[in-house]
Structures are given as structure tokens and as C-alpha cells.
Amino acid sequence: MSLYKIIGHQGVKLQIANSIKLGRFSHAHILVGENGIGKSMIAEEMAMKVLGKSEIRQYVDIVKFKVPKGKKSIGIEEVKNIIEEINKKPYECDKKVIILYNSDKMTETAQNALLKTVEEPPEGSFMILLCEKLESILDTIKSRCQIYKLNRLSQKDMILFLENKFPNLSEEEARSVLAFSDGIPGRAEEFISDSFLREMRDVATDMLKQLNNRDLSSSLKFSNYLFGVRDQWQEVLTCVLSCIRDVLIYKETGSEKLIINKDKFEDIKLMGEMFSFNKLNDIINIIKDTKEKLERNVSPALIFDSMLVKMQEV
């Protein structure tokens, strides 16, 4: 594996490779993007290139820190360990790389404690911070780092990823994976390996079909299920949006060709007859509003109930 072999993120990969080649590689970097987008792979390749390594294995001069088990954040004690480690001399050569996962989980106190090290690291030491939410990183740290934003992969890149990683997928399976992953490779891998995630797609379809009954109690029965999988709310909403996208395409074209969830085609046809374009667009807006509230950590139980009621009423 090399930066050039990692699928997608062409601009970011080129920028990193050129900076290393020209000797302009900054001492501190932030890789920001959704979970499963490829931050870890790029960070590890960056570290290997800095050390001049080509063989994929563990290196003593690439040190990784994560949120400790049983904790939800990275506190001052963890940062003290990071600072202590980065001040140790490299073992194999003259360079060392620290990779900090979930850096947006650092408390403000911990970030302030790390600031001086980010600003003036020991000679030959480099830091790579990985995060999902850049706004959770203090401006004082961001201003001292080279920031790379990783976006979702295009459909073309996702197809290439699946062909390389899972060459035995059928065309129908690949379409389902593409629909669920929504441009995130890690999400595609989860879907293929986890039957529970495939179950979510079935529930999403049933939930939409139930809206036609105009029976609020029947729709609200899904609230308990949604609350039970609240930690995977992004995946659930992606499944619902994927179904709606197929229904919109079917209503527009009357064809199966562009449908992603081909194994759900009969359900898609049924929903095409059930829902008007206006109702489908209203449901999409309700889901977007739900997503924004969940990102703000509003109570999931209240949000899911509200979402189902609103979807029933449109």
C-alpha cells in the first residue's frame, strides 16, 4: 500500500506526497473526515513515508494514541503521556511520528496542555491528529497545523474500491453496498461483514411503507427499534434516504435500470405509487432536520418520535 494506491482523495494525497518529497512536510497535521473515510490509512502512510519505510508493519517510531477504554474523552493524563513519548528520542532512525486518533475528543484543558508541543515539537518529531469534527479543535491548535479535509468518495472511486477489496460481489450486492456506504469505504466494509446493518435496510423499507397506513401507532412502533440502534443513527438515516432516492428515480423514469436497491424493486414500485413527489421531498427534509438535531446531541428518543410523527403527517 502507498499513498498513490489508496483510492480517492487525489488532491490530498498529491499535496502530502509533494510536501514530503520537497522537504516541506510540516511538523503537525490534522486529517479531518467522517468515520470510515480513510483517515487512518492516510495517516499511517504519511508516517511511513516520513520514516522512509516501505514495508507494511508496526514501527517503534510510529506511536499511536486513542481514547482510553472506558473513557469518552482524551484528558490531561493522556496528553502528558503523549508529550512524554514525543520527547523521547527516535529508536530506529532520526524521526518519530505520533498519530492521535479522535483528537476532537480531547478536552479543552488537554488541548491547551498539548499546544506548546504542537507549536514547538522536538527536532525530528511529527504529529498527525485525526478527527471527525474540526470545530471541536481549538483555533490555537488548528492555526499551527496543516489541515487536510477528506471528502466522501465519488461513485466511480467507490466502485473501484469494491472491485479491489471485494471482487466476488455480485452486481446486485455491489449496488446495495454502494447505496448504504454513501461514499464512505469503511461503511461499505461494515455492511458486507455485518448482517445487522443489512437488517437496517429492511427496517427502513418497512418503515416507509407503513406511512401509507395513516396509523400513527403502527409507525411509532419503529421508535423503539430506532432508539435501540441510536448509536448507528447515521446508517439508519442513510438507508431511509437511499430508499427514497430510488423511489424518486423510479417515479421519474419508470425504469429499474438506475435503481440502487434492486433487490427491493417491488417495494420501490409500491412506494412510487404510495407517495407523491412533494411528500417524498417533505420526508427528505424531515430526515435532514432529524440528522441536524442528532448531531447536536438532542435526546434520540424524542427526536425519533418527532420524526415518525412528522413523516406520518405530511
* DSSP-assigned states of every residue in 53-86: --S-S--TTEEEE-PPTT-SSB-HHHHHHHHHHH
Q: Alpha-carbon torsion 112, 70, 37, 19, what sign?
A: positive
Predicted local distance difference test score (pLDDT) of residue 182: 83
Interatomic CA distance for residues 114 and 110, integer angstroms: 6
Q: What is the pLDDT of residue 2?
A: 61
- How much is the pLDDT for 140? 96
Q: What angle do CA 3, 18, 137 make, to 5 degrees?
A: 75
At which residue does the C-alpha cell 446493518 appear?
197
The CATH code that applies to domain 10-149 is 3.40.50.300
Separation of alpha carbons 134 and 131, rounded Å: 7
User: Is 43:63 a contact under the CB 8 Å cutoff?
Assistant: no
Supply the pLDDT for residue 210. 83
Give the pLDDT of the chain (314 residues) as one tens digit per residue: 566 578 899 999 999 989 988 888 999 999 999 999 999 999 999 999 999 888 778 899 999 999 998 898 999 999 999 999 999 999 988 999 999 999 999 999 999 999 999 999 899 999 999 999 999 999 999 999 999 999 999 999 999 999 998 998 888 788 878 877 889 999 888 888 877 777 878 888 888 888 877 666 666 678 778 888 778 788 888 888 888 999 999 999 988 878 877 778 889 999 999 899 999 999 999 999 988 888 887 788 788 888 888 888 87
- In the chain, the amino acid numbered 102 is N
pLDDT of residue 151: 94
CATH 1.20.272.10 positions along the chain are 194-313
CATH number of 194-313, picked from 1.10.10.10, 3.40.50.10470, 3.40.50.300, 1.20.272.10:
1.20.272.10
So what's the pLDDT on residue 3? 61
What is the reported pLDDT for 216? Answer: 65
**CATH 3.40.50.300 residue window(s) in the chain:** 10-149
Q: Produce one character per residue of 118-137: b if its CB has 16 or more CB atoms within 10 Å, e if not.
A: beebeeebbbbbbbeeeeeb
